[in-house]
């Protein structure tokens, strides 16, 4: 039976994961290379990223499948390999999770614009349906549509994802306009929340953007426009290029300082996007569950020589008792 997202977040925010691309780059992926291909070429590196997030406290991890639709992969792989890349992506996250975290499989945009007739709605629907079905076959607990700027593309992806019967989280990027509260196509949080709720999303969200601070009001507006749980994964501030490398200006501690505001604004799922890493997830976990963090993880890491082997909330989750205030 599919998990119920409402139930999952009933006791407070659930911690998701951070960026994958930069973590894969730290393990040798060339910035110009396609990360999704590593599900077949370098599976151990992909599993390591998932593992690092779980060790840091992620209760939900995503998959290395953000760009694994046939439109985006294009000529880089034979079309017949597209489902396999998606299935493997889920399997790698699932193996790394080993029951300690749920696996929500990532579906990103195709990179083609409906607005300029670069692609048709039918072609989008075919590509997203193929990807969603493969992710479901791989064993995903839920699907996450993320980094969408176009509400029509997001809705087509959502409808395709819903055909699997799995819960679906639908997220857009709000990074444009005077207050950085619109998508590139001009969609407001209210418009996104209403349309995606109407189209059947089980959670509504915002990811990437221009940093965590700007996503506090965006979160509140999403919260007020839908009954569904709200999923927030901000990036680590605006990227700047320093000596040819993209860097982000927010530290894990600065990021985590806004987590209480995000929680007060109604976020039910909290994680990070571009520029975040396992240290950000650890900081989020510490902010949300300071007592659990001190009692279990730090003590355990002390015992195990700096290696956190368990999810942060395993004692709470396994006993059902609540030692730490949420």
Q: Which residues bind Zn ion (CB under 5 A)?
A: 208, 235, 273-274
**Bridge partners, 233 (sequence order):** 207
* Least Cβ distance, residue 252 to Zn ion (angstroms): 16
Nearer Cβ to Zn ion, position 23 or 316? 23
**Bridge partners, 239 (sequence order):** 248
Q: Dihedral of the CA atoms 280, 285, 290, 291 (nearest 10)?
A: -140
* Least Cβ distance, residue 209 to Zn ion (angstroms): 8
Nearer Cβ to Zn ion, position 146 or 316? 146
* Least Cβ distance, residue 147 to Zn ion (angstroms): 6
Nearer Cβ to Zn ion, position 108 or 229? 108
* Least Cβ distance, residue 219 to Zn ion (angstroms): 16
Spatial distance between the Cα atoms of 49 and 18, rounded to a whole number of angstroms:
10
* Least Cβ distance, residue 302 to Zn ion (angstroms): 33
The burial of 25, by beta-carbon neighbours within 10 Å (0-12 exposed, 13-18 middle, 19 or more buried), is given as middle
Nearer Cβ to Zn ion, position 236 or 312? 236
**Bridge partners, 19 (sequence order):** none
Spatial distance between the Cα atoms of 126 and 70, rounded to a whole number of angstroms:
9
Question: Residue 258: which of 229, 215, 290 has the closest Cα?
Answer: 215
Instruction: Assign 148 to helix, strand or coil.
Output: strand
* Least Cβ distance, residue 184 to Zn ion (angstroms): 13
Nearer Cβ to Zn ion, position 149 or 208? 208
Nearer Cβ to Zn ion, position 124 or 274? 274
**Bridge partners, 231 (sequence order):** 205, 269
Q: Is 39 left (phi over 0), alpha (psi -120 to 50) or beta?
A: alpha
The burial of 320, by beta-carbon neighbours within 10 Å (0-12 exposed, 13-18 middle, 19 or more buried), is given as exposed
């Amino acid at each position: 039976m599919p998990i119920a997202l409402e139930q999952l977040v009933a006791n407070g925010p659930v911690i998701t994961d951070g960026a994958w691309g930069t973590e894969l780059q730290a393990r040798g992926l060339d910035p110009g290379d396609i990360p999704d291909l590593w599900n077949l070429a370098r599976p151990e590196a992909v599993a390591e990223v998932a593992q690092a997030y779980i060790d840091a406290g992620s209760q939900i991890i995503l998959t290395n499948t953000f760009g694994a639709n046939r439109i985006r992969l294009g000529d880089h792989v034979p079309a017949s390999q597209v489902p396999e890349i998606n299935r493997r992506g889920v399997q790698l996250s699932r193996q790394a999770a080993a029951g300690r975290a749920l696996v929500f499989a990532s579906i990103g945009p195709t990179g083609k614009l409906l607005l300029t007739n670069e692609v048709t709605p039918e072609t989008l629907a075919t590509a997203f349906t193929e990807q969603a079905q493969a992710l479901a076959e791989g064993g995903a607990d839920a699907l996450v549509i993320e980094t969408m700027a176009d509400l029509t593309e997001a809705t087509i992806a959502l409808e395709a994802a819903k055909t699997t019967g799995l819960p679906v989280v639908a997220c857009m990027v709000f990074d444009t306009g005077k207050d950085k509260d619109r998508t590139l196509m001009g969609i407001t949080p209210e418009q996104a929340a209403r349309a995606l709720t109407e189209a059947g999303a089980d959670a509504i969200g915002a990811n990437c953007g221009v940093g965590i601070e700007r996503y506090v009001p965006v979160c509140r507006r999403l919260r007020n426009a839908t009954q569904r749980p709200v999923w927030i994964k901000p990036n680590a501030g605006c990227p700047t290029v320093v000596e040819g490398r993209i860097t982000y200006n927010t530290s894990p501690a600065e990021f985590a300082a806004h987590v209480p505001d995000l929680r007060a604004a109604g976020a039910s799922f909290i994680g990070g996007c571009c520029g975040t890493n396992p240290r950000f997830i650890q900081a989020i976990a510490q902010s949300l569950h300071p007592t659990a963090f001190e009692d279990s993880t730090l003590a355990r890491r002390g015992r195990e020589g700096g290696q956190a082997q368990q999810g942060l909330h395993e004692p709470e989750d396994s006993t059902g008792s609540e030692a730490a205030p949420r």
